[in-house]
Amino acid sequence: MTSRFFFISLHKNLINKKVMFKIIACINEKRVIGKDGGLLYHIGNDLKNFKRMTVGNVVIMGRKTFESLPNGKPLPDRINVIITSDTEYGVEPADNVYITNSIEDAIELCETLFSDKELFVIGGESLYKQFLDRGIVSEMRLTIVNDNADGDTFFPEYSMNDWDVYYESMAQVSNWEYKETTFHFQVLKKKTND
> pLDDT tens digits for 74-117?
999 999 999 999 999 999 888 999 999 999 999 999 999 999 99
DSSP-assigned states of every residue in 25-86: EEEETT-EEEETTEES---HHHHHHHHHHHTTSEEEEEHHHHHTSGGG-PPTTSEEEEE-S-
Share the mean pLDDT of the chain: 89
Pairing of strands 21-28, 137-145: parallel
Sorting pLDDT into bands at 50, 70 and 90, what band is 16?
very low
Alpha-carbon gap, residue 122 to 136, rounded angstroms: 14
Q: Which pLDDT belongs to residue 175?
A: 65
Report pLDDT for 174.
Answer: 76
Angle at which helices 103-113 and 125-133 cross, to 10°: 70
Q: Which residue from 95, 96, 119, 97 is spatially nearest to 107, judged by alpha carbons?
A: 119
Q: CATH second-level architecture of 18-190? A: 3-Layer(aba) Sandwich (3.40)
- Identity (one letter) of the amino acid at 84? T
> Is the CB of residue 78 less than 8 Å from the CB of residue 114?
no
pLDDT at 194 over 80: no
Whether the predicted pLDDT of 22 surpasses 90: yes
Residue 3 pLDDT class (50, 70, 90 cuts):
very low
Q: How confident is the model at residue 176 (pLDDT cuts 50, 70, 90)?
A: low
Average pLDDT on 59-84 reads 95
Strand segments (E) across 73-152? 79-83, 97-100, 119-123, 137-145
What's residue 4's pLDDT? 33
Q: Residue 72: what pLDDT?
A: 85
Calpha distance 130→136 (Å, rounded): 10
Mean pLDDT on 23-34: 97
- Please say if the pLDDT value at position 146 is more than 90: yes
Amino acid making up residue 76: P
